[in-house]
């Protein structure tokens, strides 16, 4: 196909150059035969060019898909630490947007530039045949252009790479803010993320300005050289042809060929910013393709049980934390428990077993083989890992369990869910195992997510099982069931168990205690329990907690006395949840397309309007502009009349030499408008996603993909800028020609282009909608995989997920190829119509309708109006596409105006207003009356709750996984819709999404988000809040000091935080708000016993009112009141010492 496309382009270029000689003959003596030959050449060239474009667009579309697949492979092949240093939004931008930008460059600019070069060469050859000095002059001019441009091209390339990097940083912050919207929303953090967006936007605009500055110099230099050639031809032609009418034909032919040459040079220079953008994208694409990859190949892990041996292990991270030389052996088929305080290095030890952290050679051996010598994929297939934080893909439940591995049969999935006692729960899901999970599907609690993680493990054949706080979110009963289900899995296999809850390790053969990265105690569990030491101290601390009498590390509290719940292996773990019919929400109306176009066109007028005005002057005064055509017509008419038209020739030269100035100013200003307008639209999406009144939930990947697709809207606005230029060209043509027919031919051509486009608009709109939806689906799938990349890689599921993404992207490739074929075909129609209009112009000259000067004016203007015809057609065909984008984005932006900046926000300077002072209403009593929490999918998490909470009290909710704990707390924070009445000091809360926020309520989720920035940034979120006090009360002061203080950077490209550290950062964030009520959803699950005790004591000292969820005895014993939930309803309440006799099986 590509060869056919190139062949068509070559024949079209030759035909156009030949047509120039025919026009020269027509000027000398028009005949019907010459007009017919001219029509055949021009129309044939246009049809061949359109054919070549259509074929080429298909080739590029398929190549884009292959490149995107390679980029996905390179991204997923990176070592885990490198992947975790990159934000999901950054990778989305590099894999998706850079690839698309490069494809657009090749599809449009690449074809145009290649065609321009081809036409320039053909024009040079034909010009040389007409006037032999052209053989010398053309190469000299081309060399001069290269000479003046060459010093600037490396500068513009470097500047463009810097600009693209700034765009990626912006995309990363956008995705991070959207993904963490609940944390942002419940901490009143929108001003903080808007300020971060504004700072990054200012960087983007500044980098765009630097690129524009260099492009201005480039355009000025090259344009001056090229147009000096045309000016010299105009003046030299008058001097040579004056008094020799026979030379007019050669002069006109030469003018057309030189104009074509200069026009192609102008076109290349005009496209230079786009070319450099594509080259910048190419550089970034190449860097991703060449990025460091995980090692491939190696020895297989020997079959059978595998021992684990650590020899002086010193693995760690680049941010400074390293293990202190651990020596530990776990015999094959035994289980060792790792204990220690948060941040002691337990998770780091587990990570080296799967090489999530690369250990030094010779320090980690599995089955006697150095893990560095093992095949990495094979190693991870044999080492099963379940962590505290379970990542859920945007896929069905079955796909989440199999991770898209086609080798896992459906029967294995059904067996795994049955072993975990999930049958009833699965049957209650809307589509059973085929129910979609995650945002846009069924939302799971953290405990339910951990059950999915265990199901993943049960369908695999592993040699080593690593459980890193894998049951931290579960109640003891659920944990017991999961442990029993996985007992067969662990039989004969080596196990490494990390836990803070001592009841979790009761079946471990050995215990290893870590402190500050060092092994401080190791031995048989029962032996260490009887000896003085760290483990015995932990047991003593655990037994000394109020409400834990009789609990041991070998049996869950109350198991013997209340065994009905624990001992019944047939009872289901999760029960059917009630569901409400989900009302169809009122659609968010999209703003009228005309209003968005007008507002964006008028935004940043010193760049948009100034740049647009300069483009208008450049259009009028280019080599094929209406002013140029008018003056050239006067020159030729004067020569034909035997005069020496120096006046028009000088005026023509002046206009030509002004063109580089006009285009340079346009280059200096217009790209900054483009960037700033794009950022406006994306800011509207960010504001809509983080405002207090939440809209429908959508996957962050889909939201970001739609936001990154905003260039569709900006391009459409640009179309109308060019349409305005078209109208001005028509008016000016009529004025300077003093003949309304000239304006009628040019205007008629543009109107016919628009009319034909109207016929094709439905087809373009449909294909564009399908392609945009396909891109959004791919963005959702890719974002989900990148969010879950640790799970994917540690399960050796990279290949399966790549195949899944390839399937999703296959639909996108087909849709993209179809879209661009339709658009290219429609874009080619104006070219055919244009050549028809040129033939009509010379036909009218043949029959004497107008003089030669008018014919030259109209034909010259038409030669430059091909682009204007395309944009007039595009303004029609792309309207459905732009309108569809607005409709798709409107729900994401909500009531936020996409085109207007909020007060105080300046995307050029990076300014953003400080957060408004927080009003608070002191809490005396919070009352719940028949409260039900209803999720977006209609699931009733909890219902019929009556509860009174007095100020200063600590109320904890407990229950097994799926009982409704998280739903109730999310309802108290306004994150889930509620029924019934919530009263604050006796007054019903009428607007929970604004009132149940700081300073009334602060919320800490089960799996909170840390935003990229410093500790201080994450805690204060832009507010003037007491960071240091909150750090101390959240028991985070030691960690912050070790990291370098509150200004230490965390998140992407910062310090890696453990699960417990992340939870305490979120707790510090909530405490810093000074809210009357802290809603904490199981925040102690990743904390060791001592840290947990300190945290609850600190909250007591503060006098904070806390409503939380927990299944840990240490927490429940300190509560003023415990509320027991069962199947979404309150089953019991009171002090824990009164409830323990009935419900101790829920606490561990």
* CATH code of residue 666: 1.20.1560.10
Q: Are strands 364-366 and 369-370 parallel, antiparallel or unpaired?
A: antiparallel
25-29, 471-475, 767-771, 1083-1087: which is most confident: 767-771
Residues in the chain: 1148
1080, 1102, 1084: which is closest to 1093 by C-alpha? 1084
pLDDT at 927: 94
Based on the domain organization, do 188 and 325 belong to the same domain? no
Whether residue 898 lies inside any domain: the answer is no
Whether residue 920 lies inside any domain: the answer is no
As a whole number of angstroms, the distance between CA 264 and CA 253 comes to 17
C-alpha pair distances (Å), 392 with each of 227, 493, 511, 834: 61, 26, 31, 55
pLDDT at 276: 64
| Number of domains into which the chain is organized | 3
pLDDT > 80? residue 592: yes
The 3-state secondary structure of 59-70 reads HHHHHHHHHHHH
- Residue 1140's domain comprises 925-1146
Domain final residue, candidates 550, 583, 601: 550
Based on the domain organization, do 523 and 426 belong to the same domain? yes
Mark residue 596 as left, alpha or beta (left: phi above 0; alpha: psi -120 to 50; beta: remaining). Answer: alpha
Asked if residue 978 lies in contact with residue 591, where contact means CB atoms within 8 angstroms, the answer is no
**Average pLDDT value over all residues in the chain:** 85
Based on the domain organization, do 937 and 884 belong to the same domain? no
522, 532, 473, 469: which is closest to 500 by C-alpha? 469
Based on the domain organization, do 989 and 1127 belong to the same domain? yes
1105, 899, 1132: which is closest to 999 by C-alpha? 1105
* CATH code of residue 1029: 3.40.50.300
Based on the domain organization, do 630 and 529 belong to the same domain? no
Based on the domain organization, do 534 and 683 belong to the same domain? no
Q: Are strands 977-984 and 987-988 parallel, antiparallel or unpaired?
A: antiparallel
pLDDT > 90? residue 266: no
pLDDT at 548: 47
Instruction: Report the pLDDT averaged over residues 72-100.
Output: 84
Could you check whether the bond before residue 1129 is cis, i.e. omega within 30 degrees of 0?
A: no
Based on the domain organization, do 283 and 334 belong to the same domain? no
Asked if residue 417 lies in contact with residue 423, where contact means CB atoms within 8 angstroms, the answer is yes
pLDDT band at 563 (very low <50, low <70, confident <90, very high): very low
Whether residue 831 lies inside any domain: the answer is yes
Angle at 561 between CA 941 and CA 1125, to 5 degrees: 10
Asked if residue 932 lies in contact with residue 945, where contact means CB atoms within 8 angstroms, the answer is yes
Asked if residue 257 lies in contact with residue 127, where contact means CB atoms within 8 angstroms, the answer is yes
As a whole number of angstroms, the distance between CA 26 and CA 19 comes to 10
As a whole number of angstroms, the distance between CA 1125 and CA 155 comes to 65
Least confident of 118-132, 852-866, 1030-1044: 118-132
pLDDT > 50? residue 561: no
Q: Is 601 exposed, middle or buried (0-12, 13-18, 19+ CB in 10 A)?
A: buried
As a whole number of angstroms, the distance between CA 3 and CA 839 comes to 30
**pLDDT tens for residues 764-796?**
888 888 988 898 889 888 888 988 888 899 888
pLDDT at 304: 81
pTM of the model: 0.79
pLDDT band at 557 (very low <50, low <70, confident <90, very high): very low
pLDDT at 270: 64
Instruction: Express as a percent the part of the chain with pLDDT over 90.
Output: 31
Based on the domain organization, do 205 and 278 belong to the same domain? yes
Non-local (6+) Cβ contacts of 767 within 8 A are: 815, 818, 819, 822, 823
348, 372, 350, 349: which is closest to 360 by C-alpha? 372
Residue 648 or 441, more confident: 648
Residue 1043 or 1019, more confident: 1019
Whether residue 585 lies inside any domain: the answer is no
Whether residue 913 lies inside any domain: the answer is no
Furthest C-alpha separation in the chain: 120
pLDDT > 90? residue 910: yes
Angle at 227 between CA 225 and CA 231, to 5 degrees: 115
Angle between helices 646-690 and 248-270 (to 10 degrees): 20
Token output for 417: 């869910």
**pLDDT tens for residues 657-713?**
999 899 889 989 999 999 999 999 999 999 999 998 887 788 887 888 889 889 889
Based on the domain organization, do 260 and 326 belong to the same domain? no
Least confident of 484-493, 846-855, 932-941, 1130-1139: 484-493
pLDDT band at 272 (very low <50, low <70, confident <90, very high): low
Whether residue 903 lies inside any domain: the answer is no
Asked if residue 948 lies in contact with residue 925, where contact means CB atoms within 8 angstroms, the answer is yes
Asked if residue 736 lies in contact with residue 868, where contact means CB atoms within 8 angstroms, the answer is no
Instruction: Report the pLDDT averaged over residues 1012-1038.
Output: 89
**pLDDT tens for residues 596-606?**
999 999 999 99
Asked if residue 80 lies in contact with residue 318, where contact means CB atoms within 8 angstroms, the answer is no
pLDDT > 70? residue 556: no
The beta-strand segments (E) located in 231-317 are 308-313
pLDDT band at 1088 (very low <50, low <70, confident <90, very high): low
Based on the domain organization, do 516 and 638 belong to the same domain? no
| Three-class secondary structure of residue 216 per DSSP | helix
The 3-state secondary structure of 979-1001 reads EEEEEECCEECCCHHHHCCCCCE
Whether residue 899 lies inside any domain: the answer is no
Give 315's DSSP letter. -
Whether residue 453 lies inside any domain: the answer is yes
**pLDDT tens for residues 301-324?**
888 888 999 999 998 877 667 888
Q: Are strands 518-524 and 510-515 parallel, antiparallel or unpaired?
A: antiparallel
pLDDT band at 981 (very low <50, low <70, confident <90, very high): very high
Residue 378 or 421, more confident: 378
Domain final residue, candidates 517, 533, 550: 550
Domain final residue, candidates 488, 522, 550: 550
Instruction: Express as a percent the part of the chain with pLDDT over 70.
Output: 92
| Three-class secondary structure of residue 911 per DSSP | strand
Based on the domain organization, do 524 and 642 belong to the same domain? no
pLDDT at 152: 84
Based on the domain organization, do 838 and 957 belong to the same domain? no
As a whole number of angstroms, the distance between CA 389 and CA 123 comes to 65
Mark residue 911 as left, alpha or beta (left: phi above 0; alpha: psi -120 to 50; beta: remaining). Answer: beta
């Amino acid at each position: 196909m590509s060869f056919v496309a190139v062949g068509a382009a070559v024949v079209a270029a030759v035909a156009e150059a030949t047509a120039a000689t025919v026009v020269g003959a027509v000027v000398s003596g028009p005949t019907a035969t010459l007009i017919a030959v001219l029509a055949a050449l021009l129309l044939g060239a246009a049809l061949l060019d359109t054919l070549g474009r259509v074929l080429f667009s298909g080739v590029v579309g398929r190549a884009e898909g292959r490149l995107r697949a390679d980029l996905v492979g390179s991204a997923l092949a990176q070592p885990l630490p490198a992947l975790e240093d990159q934000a999901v939004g950054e990778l989305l931008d590099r894999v998706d947007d850079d690839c698309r930008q490069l494809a657009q460059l090749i599809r449009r600019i690449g074809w145009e530039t290649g065609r321009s070069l081809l036409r320039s060469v053909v024009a040079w050859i034909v010009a040389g045949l007409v006037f032999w000095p052209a053989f010398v002059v053309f190469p000299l001019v081309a060399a001069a252009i290269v000479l003046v441009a060459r010093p600037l091209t490396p500068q513009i390339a470097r500047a463009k790479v810097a600009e693209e990097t700034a765009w990626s940083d912006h995309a990363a912050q956008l995705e991070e803010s959207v993904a963490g919207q609940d944390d942002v929303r419940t901490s009143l953090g929108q001003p903080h993320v808007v300020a971060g967006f504004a700072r990054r936007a200012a960087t983007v605009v500044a980098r765009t300005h630097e690129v524009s500055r260099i492009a201005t110099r480039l355009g000025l230099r090259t344009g001056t050289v090229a147009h000096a050639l045309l000016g010299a031809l105009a003046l030299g032609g008058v001097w040579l042809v004056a008094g020799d009418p026979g030379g007019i034909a050669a002069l006109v032919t030469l003018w057309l060929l030189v104009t074509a040459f200069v026009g192609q040079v102008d076109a290349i220079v005009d496209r230079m910013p786009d070319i450099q953008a594509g080259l910048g994208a190419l550089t970034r694409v190449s860097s991703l393709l060449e990025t460091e990859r995980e090692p491939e190949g190696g020895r297989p892990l020997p079959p059978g049980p595998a021992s684990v041996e650590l020899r002086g292990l010193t693995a760690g991270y680049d941010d400074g934390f390293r293990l202190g030389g651990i020596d530990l052996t776990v015999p094959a088929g035994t289980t060792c428990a790792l204990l220690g305080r948060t941040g002691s290095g337990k998770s780091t030890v587990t990570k080296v077993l799967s090489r999530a952290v690369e250990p030094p050679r010779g320090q980690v051996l599995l089955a006697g083989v150095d893990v560095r010598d093992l095949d990495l994929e094979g190693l991870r297939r044999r080492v099963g890992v379940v962590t505290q934080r379970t990542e859920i893909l945007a896929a069905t439940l079955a796909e989440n369990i199999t991770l898209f591995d086609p080798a896992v049969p459906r029967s294995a999935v059904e067996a795994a869910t049955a072993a975990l006692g999930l049958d009833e729960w699965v049957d209650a899901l809307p589509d059973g195992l085929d129910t979609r999970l995650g945002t846009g599907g069924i939302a799971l609690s953290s405990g339910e997510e951990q059950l999915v993680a265990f199901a993943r493990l049960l369908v695999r054949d592993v040699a080593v099982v690593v459980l890193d706080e894998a049951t931290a979110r579960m109640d003891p009963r659920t944990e017991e069931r999961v442990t029993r289900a996985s007992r067969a899995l662990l039989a004969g296999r080596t196990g490494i168990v990390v836990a803070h809850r001592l009841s979790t390790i009761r079946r471990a053969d050995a215990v290893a205690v870590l402190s500050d990265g060092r092994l401080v105690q190791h031995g048989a569990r029962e032996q260490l329990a009887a000896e003085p030491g760290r483990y015995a101290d932990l047991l003593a601390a655990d037994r000394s907690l109020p409400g834990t009498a009789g609990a041991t590390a070998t049996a869950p509290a109350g198991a013997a006395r209340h065994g009905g719940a624990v001992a019944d292996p047939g009872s289901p773990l999760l029960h059917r949840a009630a569901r409400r019919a989900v009302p169809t929400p009122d659609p968010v109306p999209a703003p009228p397309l005309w209003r968005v176009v007008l507002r964006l066109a008028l935004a940043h007028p010193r760049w948009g309007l100034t740049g647009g005005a300069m483009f208008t002057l450049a259009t009028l005064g280019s080599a094929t502009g209406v002013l140029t055509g008018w003056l050239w017509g006067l020159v030729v008419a004067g020569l034909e009349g035997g005069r020496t038209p120096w006046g028009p020739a000088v005026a023509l030269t002046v206009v030509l030499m002004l063109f580089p100035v006009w285009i340079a100013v346009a280059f200096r200003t217009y790209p900054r408008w483009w960037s700033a307008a794009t950022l406006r639209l994306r800011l509207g999406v960010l504001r809509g996603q983080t405002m207090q009144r939440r809209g429908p939930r959508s996957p962050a990947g889909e939201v970001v993909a739609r936001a990154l697709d905003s260039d569709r809207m900006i391009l459409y606005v640009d179309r109308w800028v060019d349409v305005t230029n078209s109208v001005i060209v028509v008016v000016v043509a009529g004025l300077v020609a003093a003949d309304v027919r000239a304006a009628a031919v040019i205007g008629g051509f543009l109107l016919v282009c628009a009319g034909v486009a109207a016929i094709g608009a439905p087809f373009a709109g449909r294909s564009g909608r399908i392609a945009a939806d396909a891109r959004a689906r791919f963005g959702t799938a890719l974002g989900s995989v990148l969010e879950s990349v640790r799970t994917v890689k540690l399960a050796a599921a990279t290949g399966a997920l790549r195949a899944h993404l390839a399937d999703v992207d296959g639909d996108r490739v087909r849709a993209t190829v179809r879209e661009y074929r339709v658009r290219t075909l429609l874009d080619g129609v104006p070219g055919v119509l244009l050549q028809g209009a040129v033939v009509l112009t010379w036909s009218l000259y043949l029959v004497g309708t107008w003089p030669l000067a008018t014919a030259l004016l109209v034909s010259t203007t038409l030669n430059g109006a091909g682009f204007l015809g395309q944009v007039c057609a595009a303004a029609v065909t792309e309207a459905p596409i732009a309108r569809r984008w607005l409709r798709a984005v409107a729900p994401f932006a909500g009531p936020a105006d996409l085109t207007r900046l909020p007060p105080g926000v300046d995307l050029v300077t990076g300014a953003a207003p400080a957060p408004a002072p927080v009003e608070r209403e002191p809490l005396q009593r919070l009352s719940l009356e028949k409260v039900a929490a209803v999720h977006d999918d209609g699931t009733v998490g909890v219902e019929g709750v009556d509860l009174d909470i007095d100020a200063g009290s600590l109320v904890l909710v407990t229950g097994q996984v799926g009982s409704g704990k998280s739903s109730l707390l999310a309802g108290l924070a306004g994150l889930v819709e509620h029924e019934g009445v919530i009263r604050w000091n006796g007054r019903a809360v009428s607007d929970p999404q604004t009132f149940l926020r700081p300073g009334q309520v602060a919320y800490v989720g089960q799996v909170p988000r840390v935003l990229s920035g410093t500790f201080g940034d994450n805690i204060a979120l832009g507010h003037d809040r007491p960071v240091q006090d909150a750090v101390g009360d959240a028991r985070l002061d030691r960690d912050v000091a070790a990291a370098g203080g509150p200004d230490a950077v965390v998140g992407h490209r910062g310090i890696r935080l453990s699960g417990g550290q992340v939870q305490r950062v979120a707790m510090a964030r909530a405490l810093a708000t000074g809210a009357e009520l802290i809603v904490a959803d199981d925040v102690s699950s990743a904390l060791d016993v001592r840290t947990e005790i300190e945290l609850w004591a600190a909250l007591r000292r503060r006098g904070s009112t806390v409503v939380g969820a927990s299944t840990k005895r240490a927490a429940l014993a300190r509560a003023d009141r415990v509320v027991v939930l069962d199947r979404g309803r309150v089953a019991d309440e009171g002090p824990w010492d009164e409830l323990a006799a009935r419900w101790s099986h829920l606490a561990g």
